[in-house]
Amino acid sequence: MEPFHPRAPRARRSSLAAGLVLILILAVWPRSALGLPATPASAAPLVVAASTPVFADLVANVGGERTAVWSVVPPGADPHTWEASPREVVRLQESDTFVYMGAYLEPFIEAGAWRRAASDAAIPQLVLADEVALIAVDQVIDHGDHVHDLRGGDPHVWLDPLKTVEVVAVIETHLAGLDPAGAATYAANADTYAAELVALDAAYRAALAPIPPEARKLVVAHDAYTYFAARYGFEVVGVVLPNPDGEPSAREIAELLGTIEETGVSVIFAEPQFSSTILDELAADAGVEVGLLLTDTFAGEVDTYLELMAFNLASLEEHLAP
Protein backbone atom coordinates (compact mmCIF):
# COMPACT_ATOMS: atom_id res chain seq x y z
CA MET A 1 0.00 0.00 0.00
CA GLU A 2 1.34 3.49 -0.87
CA PRO A 3 2.20 5.74 2.10
CA PHE A 4 -0.27 8.51 2.87
CA HIS A 5 0.98 12.03 1.95
CA PRO A 6 -0.64 14.90 3.86
CA ARG A 7 -0.21 17.26 0.87
CA ALA A 8 -0.53 16.45 -2.82
CA PRO A 9 2.02 17.86 -5.31
CA ARG A 10 1.20 21.33 -6.73
CA ALA A 11 0.05 20.03 -10.16
CA ARG A 12 -2.28 17.53 -8.54
CA ARG A 13 -3.64 20.18 -6.13
CA SER A 14 -4.90 22.32 -9.00
CA SER A 15 -6.63 19.35 -10.67
CA LEU A 16 -8.14 18.35 -7.34
CA ALA A 17 -9.47 21.86 -6.84
CA ALA A 18 -11.08 21.84 -10.28
CA GLY A 19 -12.67 18.51 -9.51
CA LEU A 20 -14.08 19.82 -6.22
CA VAL A 21 -15.58 22.84 -8.01
CA LEU A 22 -17.32 20.52 -10.48
CA ILE A 23 -18.66 18.34 -7.67
CA LEU A 24 -20.07 21.42 -5.89
CA ILE A 25 -21.72 22.66 -9.09
CA LEU A 26 -23.36 19.28 -9.66
CA ALA A 27 -24.52 19.16 -6.08
CA VAL A 28 -26.08 22.65 -6.09
CA TRP A 29 -27.34 23.14 -9.64
CA PRO A 30 -30.16 21.01 -11.06
CA ARG A 31 -28.86 18.47 -13.58
CA SER A 32 -31.40 19.69 -16.13
CA ALA A 33 -29.94 23.22 -15.96
CA LEU A 34 -26.56 21.78 -16.90
CA GLY A 35 -27.98 19.81 -19.81
CA LEU A 36 -27.48 16.49 -18.01
CA PRO A 37 -30.07 13.68 -17.71
CA ALA A 38 -31.87 13.45 -14.38
CA THR A 39 -30.54 10.89 -11.90
CA PRO A 40 -33.12 8.11 -11.49
CA ALA A 41 -34.45 7.82 -7.95
CA SER A 42 -33.62 4.54 -6.37
CA ALA A 43 -36.80 2.47 -6.03
CA ALA A 44 -37.91 1.53 -2.55
CA PRO A 45 -37.71 -2.22 -1.96
CA LEU A 46 -40.86 -4.30 -2.24
CA VAL A 47 -42.15 -5.08 1.24
CA VAL A 48 -43.10 -8.75 1.18
CA ALA A 49 -45.05 -10.46 3.94
CA ALA A 50 -44.45 -14.22 3.91
CA SER A 51 -46.47 -16.56 6.07
CA THR A 52 -43.59 -18.55 7.61
CA PRO A 53 -39.83 -18.17 8.10
CA VAL A 54 -39.23 -20.82 5.42
CA PHE A 55 -41.12 -18.90 2.75
CA ALA A 56 -39.65 -15.60 3.92
CA ASP A 57 -36.17 -17.04 3.37
CA LEU A 58 -37.06 -18.33 -0.10
CA VAL A 59 -38.47 -14.92 -1.08
CA ALA A 60 -35.41 -13.13 0.31
CA ASN A 61 -33.07 -15.32 -1.74
CA VAL A 62 -34.95 -14.49 -4.93
CA GLY A 63 -35.65 -10.85 -4.12
CA GLY A 64 -32.26 -9.88 -2.76
CA GLU A 65 -31.82 -6.16 -2.07
CA ARG A 66 -34.92 -5.30 -4.09
CA THR A 67 -37.14 -6.75 -1.37
CA ALA A 68 -37.67 -6.27 2.36
CA VAL A 69 -39.14 -9.54 3.60
CA TRP A 70 -40.74 -10.35 6.94
CA SER A 71 -42.33 -13.51 8.29
CA VAL A 72 -45.81 -13.32 9.77
CA VAL A 73 -45.28 -16.44 11.89
CA PRO A 74 -42.13 -15.93 13.99
CA PRO A 75 -39.33 -18.51 14.13
CA GLY A 76 -40.07 -21.29 16.59
CA ALA A 77 -43.85 -21.01 16.24
CA ASP A 78 -46.08 -23.56 14.55
CA PRO A 79 -48.04 -22.15 11.58
CA HIS A 80 -50.74 -24.79 12.11
CA THR A 81 -51.72 -23.32 15.49
CA TRP A 82 -50.35 -19.76 15.51
CA GLU A 83 -52.74 -16.79 15.69
CA ALA A 84 -51.94 -13.38 14.25
CA SER A 85 -51.86 -10.41 16.62
CA PRO A 86 -53.06 -6.87 15.77
CA ARG A 87 -49.40 -5.96 15.16
CA GLU A 88 -49.06 -8.47 12.31
CA VAL A 89 -52.44 -7.42 10.92
CA VAL A 90 -51.32 -3.78 10.72
CA ARG A 91 -47.96 -4.75 9.26
CA LEU A 92 -49.69 -6.78 6.54
CA GLN A 93 -51.65 -3.71 5.48
CA GLU A 94 -48.36 -1.81 5.10
CA SER A 95 -46.82 -4.50 2.87
CA ASP A 96 -46.79 -4.64 -0.93
CA THR A 97 -47.65 -8.33 -1.28
CA PHE A 98 -48.36 -11.45 0.76
CA VAL A 99 -46.85 -14.86 -0.05
CA TYR A 100 -48.19 -17.99 1.60
CA MET A 101 -48.67 -21.69 0.98
CA GLY A 102 -52.37 -22.24 1.41
CA ALA A 103 -53.75 -25.80 1.44
CA TYR A 104 -54.61 -25.28 5.14
CA LEU A 105 -50.97 -24.92 6.23
CA GLU A 106 -51.69 -21.53 7.85
CA PRO A 107 -55.13 -21.57 9.50
CA PHE A 108 -54.66 -18.04 10.85
CA ILE A 109 -55.25 -16.77 7.31
CA GLU A 110 -58.84 -17.92 7.60
CA ALA A 111 -59.41 -15.96 10.83
CA GLY A 112 -61.78 -13.03 10.53
CA ALA A 113 -59.36 -10.25 11.50
CA TRP A 114 -56.67 -11.46 9.11
CA ARG A 115 -59.07 -11.98 6.21
CA ARG A 116 -60.55 -8.51 6.69
CA ALA A 117 -57.06 -6.97 6.86
CA ALA A 118 -55.97 -8.75 3.68
CA SER A 119 -59.13 -7.64 1.92
CA ASP A 120 -58.83 -4.03 3.10
CA ALA A 121 -55.16 -3.87 2.13
CA ALA A 122 -56.03 -4.98 -1.41
CA ILE A 123 -52.46 -6.15 -1.99
CA PRO A 124 -51.47 -8.89 -4.46
CA GLN A 125 -51.33 -12.31 -2.85
CA LEU A 126 -49.38 -15.33 -4.05
CA VAL A 127 -50.92 -18.64 -2.99
CA LEU A 128 -48.19 -21.18 -3.70
CA ALA A 129 -50.57 -24.14 -3.47
CA ASP A 130 -52.39 -22.75 -6.52
CA GLU A 131 -49.18 -22.71 -8.57
CA VAL A 132 -47.35 -25.91 -7.55
CA ALA A 133 -48.72 -29.44 -8.02
CA LEU A 134 -49.44 -31.06 -4.65
CA ILE A 135 -49.50 -34.71 -3.62
CA ALA A 136 -52.95 -35.74 -2.41
CA VAL A 137 -53.11 -37.18 1.12
CA ASP A 138 -55.92 -39.10 2.77
CA GLN A 139 -56.27 -36.85 5.80
CA VAL A 140 -59.11 -34.81 7.27
CA ILE A 141 -58.26 -32.85 10.44
CA ASP A 142 -61.17 -32.06 12.75
CA HIS A 143 -60.43 -28.90 14.74
CA GLY A 144 -63.75 -29.03 16.56
CA ASP A 145 -65.21 -25.77 15.28
CA HIS A 146 -64.06 -26.44 11.70
CA VAL A 147 -62.58 -29.19 9.55
CA HIS A 148 -59.57 -29.10 7.24
CA ASP A 149 -59.81 -31.50 4.34
CA LEU A 150 -56.23 -32.15 3.19
CA ARG A 151 -57.19 -34.58 0.46
CA GLY A 152 -56.58 -31.77 -2.01
CA GLY A 153 -52.86 -31.92 -1.28
CA ASP A 154 -50.12 -31.90 1.35
CA PRO A 155 -48.69 -28.37 1.73
CA HIS A 156 -45.19 -29.36 3.01
CA VAL A 157 -43.53 -29.16 -0.41
CA TRP A 158 -40.28 -27.54 0.82
CA LEU A 159 -39.04 -30.78 2.43
CA ASP A 160 -38.22 -31.89 -1.13
CA PRO A 161 -35.45 -29.61 -2.51
CA LEU A 162 -36.53 -30.18 -6.10
CA LYS A 163 -40.13 -29.18 -5.33
CA THR A 164 -38.61 -26.11 -3.72
CA VAL A 165 -37.02 -25.29 -7.08
CA GLU A 166 -40.59 -25.08 -8.43
CA VAL A 167 -41.60 -22.79 -5.58
CA VAL A 168 -38.62 -20.51 -6.26
CA ALA A 169 -39.63 -20.21 -9.92
CA VAL A 170 -43.17 -19.20 -8.92
CA ILE A 171 -41.81 -16.59 -6.50
CA GLU A 172 -39.55 -15.19 -9.23
CA THR A 173 -42.49 -14.78 -11.61
CA HIS A 174 -44.57 -13.10 -8.90
CA LEU A 175 -41.87 -10.59 -7.94
CA ALA A 176 -41.09 -9.78 -11.56
CA GLY A 177 -44.76 -9.08 -12.17
CA LEU A 178 -44.81 -6.59 -9.30
CA ASP A 179 -41.43 -5.06 -10.17
CA PRO A 180 -40.67 -5.47 -13.91
CA ALA A 181 -37.53 -3.34 -13.60
CA GLY A 182 -36.05 -5.99 -11.34
CA ALA A 183 -36.98 -8.98 -13.52
CA ALA A 184 -33.39 -9.68 -14.58
CA THR A 185 -32.20 -9.51 -10.98
CA TYR A 186 -34.92 -11.87 -9.80
CA ALA A 187 -34.15 -14.30 -12.61
CA ALA A 188 -30.43 -14.32 -11.83
CA ASN A 189 -31.04 -14.76 -8.10
CA ALA A 190 -33.53 -17.55 -8.70
CA ASP A 191 -31.11 -19.37 -11.02
CA THR A 192 -28.30 -19.12 -8.45
CA TYR A 193 -30.51 -20.35 -5.63
CA ALA A 194 -32.02 -23.14 -7.74
CA ALA A 195 -28.50 -24.42 -8.41
CA GLU A 196 -27.93 -24.57 -4.64
CA LEU A 197 -31.15 -26.55 -4.24
CA VAL A 198 -30.13 -29.02 -6.92
CA ALA A 199 -26.80 -29.45 -5.13
CA LEU A 200 -28.72 -29.97 -1.88
CA ASP A 201 -30.73 -32.75 -3.51
CA ALA A 202 -27.51 -34.41 -4.70
CA ALA A 203 -26.09 -34.20 -1.16
CA TYR A 204 -29.23 -35.83 0.23
CA ARG A 205 -29.08 -38.66 -2.28
CA ALA A 206 -25.43 -39.36 -1.56
CA ALA A 207 -25.75 -39.19 2.23
CA LEU A 208 -28.95 -41.27 2.42
CA ALA A 209 -27.79 -43.95 -0.03
CA PRO A 210 -26.23 -46.21 2.68
CA ILE A 211 -29.50 -46.41 4.64
CA PRO A 212 -30.99 -49.86 3.93
CA PRO A 213 -34.66 -50.25 2.85
CA GLU A 214 -35.71 -51.73 6.20
CA ALA A 215 -34.47 -48.57 7.98
CA ARG A 216 -36.29 -46.19 5.63
CA LYS A 217 -39.39 -46.09 7.81
CA LEU A 218 -40.29 -42.93 9.69
CA VAL A 219 -42.36 -42.16 12.76
CA VAL A 220 -42.66 -38.37 12.87
CA ALA A 221 -44.30 -35.76 15.08
CA HIS A 222 -46.81 -34.63 12.47
CA ASP A 223 -47.63 -35.66 8.94
CA ALA A 224 -45.26 -33.43 6.96
CA TYR A 225 -42.97 -35.85 5.14
CA THR A 226 -45.00 -36.87 2.09
CA TYR A 227 -42.68 -35.12 -0.39
CA PHE A 228 -39.47 -36.08 1.37
CA ALA A 229 -40.53 -39.74 1.47
CA ALA A 230 -41.55 -39.76 -2.18
CA ARG A 231 -38.28 -38.15 -3.32
CA TYR A 232 -35.86 -40.29 -1.31
CA GLY A 233 -37.57 -43.65 -1.00
CA PHE A 234 -38.82 -43.50 2.58
CA GLU A 235 -42.14 -44.52 4.10
CA VAL A 236 -43.96 -42.64 6.86
CA VAL A 237 -45.38 -45.47 8.96
CA GLY A 238 -46.54 -43.45 11.96
CA VAL A 239 -47.55 -39.94 13.03
CA VAL A 240 -47.61 -38.99 16.72
CA LEU A 241 -49.89 -35.95 16.34
CA PRO A 242 -52.51 -36.51 13.62
CA ASN A 243 -53.97 -33.16 14.67
CA PRO A 244 -51.17 -30.61 15.32
CA ASP A 245 -53.25 -28.62 17.80
CA GLY A 246 -54.44 -31.63 19.78
CA GLU A 247 -53.12 -34.73 21.52
CA PRO A 248 -53.33 -38.34 20.36
CA SER A 249 -56.04 -40.50 21.90
CA ALA A 250 -55.26 -43.63 23.91
CA ARG A 251 -56.36 -45.70 20.92
CA GLU A 252 -54.03 -43.81 18.56
CA ILE A 253 -51.10 -44.27 20.94
CA ALA A 254 -51.79 -48.00 21.22
CA GLU A 255 -51.96 -48.32 17.43
CA LEU A 256 -48.70 -46.39 17.05
CA LEU A 257 -46.95 -48.63 19.59
CA GLY A 258 -48.11 -51.63 17.57
CA THR A 259 -46.82 -50.06 14.36
CA ILE A 260 -43.40 -49.38 15.92
CA GLU A 261 -43.12 -52.98 17.13
CA GLU A 262 -44.28 -54.40 13.80
CA THR A 263 -42.00 -52.29 11.60
CA GLY A 264 -38.93 -52.39 13.84
CA VAL A 265 -38.56 -48.60 13.84
CA SER A 266 -35.71 -47.57 16.14
CA VAL A 267 -36.35 -43.82 16.46
CA ILE A 268 -39.24 -41.37 16.75
CA PHE A 269 -38.56 -37.92 15.31
CA ALA A 270 -39.80 -34.99 17.38
CA GLU A 271 -40.17 -31.34 16.36
CA PRO A 272 -39.15 -28.43 18.63
CA GLN A 273 -42.45 -26.54 18.33
CA PHE A 274 -44.43 -29.44 19.81
CA SER A 275 -44.38 -30.62 23.42
CA SER A 276 -42.06 -33.60 23.77
CA THR A 277 -43.86 -35.12 26.76
CA ILE A 278 -46.02 -37.53 24.77
CA LEU A 279 -43.15 -38.35 22.42
CA ASP A 280 -40.80 -39.10 25.29
CA GLU A 281 -43.35 -41.33 26.97
CA LEU A 282 -44.10 -43.11 23.72
CA ALA A 283 -40.40 -43.65 23.01
CA ALA A 284 -39.85 -45.01 26.52
CA ASP A 285 -42.77 -47.43 26.18
CA ALA A 286 -41.55 -48.58 22.76
CA GLY A 287 -37.88 -48.74 23.76
CA VAL A 288 -36.73 -46.46 20.91
CA GLU A 289 -34.69 -43.27 20.62
CA VAL A 290 -36.02 -39.74 20.11
CA GLY A 291 -34.47 -37.78 17.25
CA LEU A 292 -35.22 -34.26 16.03
CA LEU A 293 -36.35 -32.96 12.65
CA LEU A 294 -37.29 -29.41 11.68
CA THR A 295 -40.23 -28.94 9.36
CA ASP A 296 -42.42 -25.83 9.57
CA THR A 297 -40.08 -23.46 11.36
CA PHE A 298 -36.51 -22.61 12.33
CA ALA A 299 -35.07 -23.30 15.77
CA GLY A 300 -31.84 -22.87 17.67
CA GLU A 301 -29.01 -21.76 15.38
CA VAL A 302 -30.96 -22.69 12.25
CA ASP A 303 -32.29 -19.56 10.55
CA THR A 304 -32.35 -20.39 6.82
CA TYR A 305 -34.01 -23.03 4.70
CA LEU A 306 -30.67 -24.52 3.63
CA GLU A 307 -29.59 -24.78 7.27
CA LEU A 308 -32.89 -26.47 8.13
CA MET A 309 -32.35 -29.07 5.44
CA ALA A 310 -28.73 -29.60 6.47
CA PHE A 311 -29.84 -30.11 10.08
CA ASN A 312 -32.41 -32.71 9.01
CA LEU A 313 -29.93 -34.58 6.86
CA ALA A 314 -27.44 -34.79 9.73
CA SER A 315 -30.18 -36.04 12.06
CA LEU A 316 -31.34 -38.71 9.60
CA GLU A 317 -27.79 -39.90 9.09
CA GLU A 318 -27.15 -40.02 12.84
CA HIS A 319 -30.22 -42.10 13.63
CA LEU A 320 -30.73 -44.24 10.52
CA ALA A 321 -27.40 -44.81 8.78
CA PRO A 322 -25.66 -48.15 9.56
Average pLDDT along the chain, 322 residues, taken 10 residues at a time: 34 36 36 39 85 98 98 93 91 96 91 83 94 83 50 89 98 98 98 98 98 96 94 96 80 94 96 86 94 95 97 98 93
Distance CA 248, CA 129 (A): 28
Domain 206-320: which CATH number of 2.60.120.260, 3.40.50.1980, 3.30.750.200, 3.40.1180.10: 3.40.50.1980
Q: What per-residue confidence (pLDDT) applies to 216?
A: 97
Q: What per-residue confidence (pLDDT) applies to 202?
A: 98
Residue in 208, 215, 226, 218 with CA at minimum distance from that of residue 313: 208
CATH topology of domain 46-132+161-200: Rossmann fold (3.40.50)
* Stated pTM of the model: 0.84
Q: 181-185 contacts: CB < 8 A, separation 24 or more?
A: 181/43, 182/66, 185/64, 185/66
Q: In this structure, what are the phi and psi dihedrals at residue 58, rounded to the nearest 5 degrees?
A: -65, -45
Q: What per-residue confidence (pLDDT) applies to 210?
A: 97
Where along the chain do its domains lie?
Answer: 46-132+161-200, 206-320
Q: What per-residue confidence (pLDDT) applies to 136?
A: 87
Q: What per-residue confidence (pLDDT) applies to 25?
A: 34
Asked whether the domain spanning 206-320 has the same topology as the one spanning 46-132+161-200, the reply is yes
Q: What per-residue confidence (pLDDT) applies to 27?
A: 38
**Sheet of strand 67-71: strand arrangement:** 67-71, 46-50, 97-100, 125-127
Q: What per-residue confidence (pLDDT) applies to 113?
A: 83
Q: What per-residue confidence (pLDDT) applies to 152?
A: 66
Q: What per-residue confidence (pLDDT) applies to 32?
A: 37
